Amino acid sequence: MSACFHFSAKPIARSAGHSASAAAAYRGGMQLKDDRTGMTYDFTKKSGVINRAAPVFLPGGSRANCREFWNEVEKHHKRGDAVVAREVEASLPSSLPAETRQELAYQLAQDLADEYGVGAHPSLHEPRRITEEDLRRKPDQYWEIDPHTGKVHNGNWHVHIILSACSSDSTGKLGRKVESLDPISCQRSGILNLAETWREKWADMQNAALKQHNCPERVDHRSLKDQGVNRAPTKHLGPTAAAIERKSPGVSEVMQRIEAENVENLLANKRQIEAEEMAAVEKANKILIEIQAAESAKEIRDGIRRAALSAIEENIRSSISLNRECDEAYEAASRTLRCIAEIAETQHRRRIEESVGAIGDQLRQFVRAVGRSLTKITAKVAYIVGYIVGEINRQSKLQSVAKGDTSRDSVSDNTFPQPPPPEPPPKSRRFKP
């Protein structure tokens, strides 16, 4: 639920015939004499003022007498068209207790005084009462019943805070003009003015108080456009025009025109709301169809995912079984290879032994053959030696004959027999392994 929000600021200038003393007296419902002009402003009979003759809030938390302070402000400004003060008007939540509303208004006044270094004079006003005649003349106007007093009013609790246009210290001593309160100076400097700066802060302060008191209402400082509300704002009469309208016997043309425009705006807003509702329904149906399609697609994806997971699990089990079979086949092949290696090693050893035995037999045969050859060679050598010895003896005899030893029998060349020709050596046998 959203409560009404209002925060505005306007100047109090001598050029418009206003003065700080008169404004303070009227907003505070009190009597105040302007020492500069000698005029006395008496608004003690004004109704609806809650805190009459409230003090002025100064920077640092100190207070000043409102009559003395505003007379000093009037004396401080010399120009005839000077802006002597600025007024802040802010709404207060009707659902808060009276004490909390006053504390909230005083807190706003003190914060403004501290931030801008000025004097701040708060005046709380209660809502305007609504009579049966008012309801008869304008039955569609807003009204509510006060839970504490039982009175019928329009719910417009608000506070007027008058700020000095010049600076002030904690003792009430006035200084130079505060440029940050002047919207023209703020525009030239490219900074936010008073209203732009404090609208959001004031909304936050109200929402914090509403939350603290467990109130469901909240305020929003943004415009209807910024809030995303597609409706035209309604027009209303100002306080002076509204007072004249209430006192007049009939309805003025201005009021009729405003009411006609408001009715037209309400009808246009209604038609726009109906169109937005239809568009919202169509959008909701479209979203519902998309959700259903998404759910169906999700079910299909879930089914595919489950099937894929089952297939993966089956493949994993098959892989595990195949790996087990491969391990068993590998072990069997390893055993077979070991057996083959052992057999090959045994056969190789047997072949080596057989080869060694065959080599031994061939060596023995070779030795026997060599022995036989040696016997023949020995016989031939003995024969040759004998032949040589006989030849030597024969030569010796021939030499003796040549020397004249005739006594001995002459020996002819044919005395000694010729040795037979040597036999050819036997063919050698090659070793065959």
For the chain, the domains span: 7-221
Looking at mean pLDDT, say which of 62-66, 239-243, 356-360 comes out highest.
Answer: 62-66
Residue the block writes with tokens 């504490």: 148
Given pLDDT bands bounded at 50, 70 and 90, which one contains residue 424? low
**Token reading at 115:** 């931030």
Q: How confident is residue 419, by pLDDT bands cut at 50, 70 and 90?
A: low
Q: How confident is the model at residue 206 (pLDDT cuts 50, 70, 90)?
A: very high
User: 76: how many CB neighbours lie within 10 A of its CB?
Assistant: 18
Residues 6+ apart with CB under 8 A from 183: 9, 193, 194, 195
What contacts 8, CB < 8 A, 6 or more positions away?
A: 88, 89, 90, 195
Q: Would you say residue 22 has pLDDT above 90?
A: yes
Q: What is the CATH number of domain 7-221?
A: 3.30.930.30
144 pLDDT above the threshold of 90: no
Global confidence as pTM: 0.58
pLDDT, mean of residues 327-343: 79
Average pLDDT over residues 399-410: 60
pLDDT at position 185 over 90: yes
pLDDT digits (tens, 9 = 90+) for 288-308: 888 888 888 888 888 887 887
Q: Which of 91-100, 178-187, 419-428 has the lowest mean pLDDT?
A: 419-428
24 contacts 121 by C-beta, under 8 angstroms: yes
Separation between Cα atoms, residue 328 and residue 321, nearest integer Å: 11
- Label the pairing between strands 152-153 and 174-177: unpaired
Least confident of 83-97, 293-307, 405-419: 405-419
